Structure 1
């Protein structure tokens, strides 16, 4: 399989809708999906899309006798207004709330929510596919210095349902490797004691009936670090930077094992300047607060479900890693390029092109 090209100006052999060549059948029940039978197909002409006028080639799988087209592999598959998906993506990375997005595009709130779920799942799958490809090709840094920390927000109620967001960042390039969202224990306060008994269940925390809401910080950090280790090469040496939280050393050893060379611990009371070893994590969390509407303090834009927050985070992270320049004035060098995961920045059309679950098509417009 050829290396993934991230050239922003697709060359003649790039997979566009007009010269698209399928690499596998999109139907999950096709025997060729398991690799037992080689995938074979034949062309069946073209059709013109009424919504945007694009000419899309059709194909027929010779193994399962199902039909499909190039559009089947795209994120905007079966969307009547694909142009609004692009506009909603721009809103999600620009601190625009969902209801304001409905006013700007004329869409219904359900449509905006559905697009957010679609984009969040796609962006996460796309980054995983690109990192998996880079790992298999032996790309990526041989030594990495990660900085990780947690940011606190809430769902529905600030005291009863606080939420933690763990983020793992490359301390040198600001590439965001992973993020995870989890619940925190309810805050004891006079108002909360009047509102709910101390042993009652808080809705949406996943606890059994009659049990209090438990803290999921340890589980959240472990999940983010474990997935970060999965995307790194087995020969990569890791240096970690974190604050003094007691659960972090055990989580690092569990995730990286012998690949963990050093763990630098910084007091949370240290000045948050660029000389602070934890500055890359602090900067990334501040940028998340500024770019994701659900994390803005003292607003009505907070999440009602933390699962929705996770999807929204991945939309911003994918754009931040693969499209946006690493820092202002870095001459279009993205965090993925600085980490040697990519050779060129992705355009929005490339980022929202073919679906991320197809590794050989990921990121191509």
Structure 2
């Protein structure tokens, strides 16, 4: 948003409309490539996504109209959706059973540290505010995807053998009621993930009137905990039943939401800051505990020959949450603290209920963490 406002003559509404249009048009892309992943393997599809995103960011250097922004942003949004559709397939193929939670946890930590580093460097660069600096940010983004393309060349493309478990195509995926419960759980989990970026900073600064650094402190806590503690915590959880750990994760989310609500009832800003930070810690524990387990259950619940389609459907839940969350959370936030946080507590309760259901009907959710 800042880049386009600084480098084009377009208004905030025009830029927002272009980015929203791109995000909505990218929703079907993940499911569309699921069949390609099953047929050709995840690597070539992922490599195409890397090139698409490099092209999209390079295009930012020359855009000036709303439709041009929408096209380039669509390349980036679609590439991101394809990445996450291929990501679980790649990890599952390369990681041995019993080690997948650790690998999903490690890669989640690395990705979160990447977000933090990128955000820090961008914040420093934007402080200069010149056109050249904005262009440099875009160029670095484009080069990062080209670098990812080169690095991925060393990763083998493990294609599933065509067999009985590949029969049925999308019809089989959509008729798999047990996996649809996995997707429903993913939707609840994803909604909670978007709370960090959309609701918490606005609530802390604009609603509670806390100092601006409070939002930064929340992000810092989240980044450090996910970046450095996720792998350790997954190791500590070894031997525990996956579905029960997911329930604990949703309980941590709900506790965080109730703490955010409690901060609205405090007269002292200093106490409110402390309660918000405690809420952020509890919220982040929910993310740390649930993230690797959610990814592992989704990946291992899919048959080898159709894993691309299955995980594409699961990723669609994340994309839908990302498309709906900004409007839904901002609307709830505008009505009051109780409305948003109690609604999100309800989402967590639903997520915990679905996790309990997974523990009864989905074999992958019944297994022990680290078990084969």
Common fold by TM > 0.5: no
More helix by share: 2
Tell me which structure has the larger Cα radius of gyration. 1
TM-score by length of 2: 0.25
Structure (1 or 2) with the greater strand fraction:
1
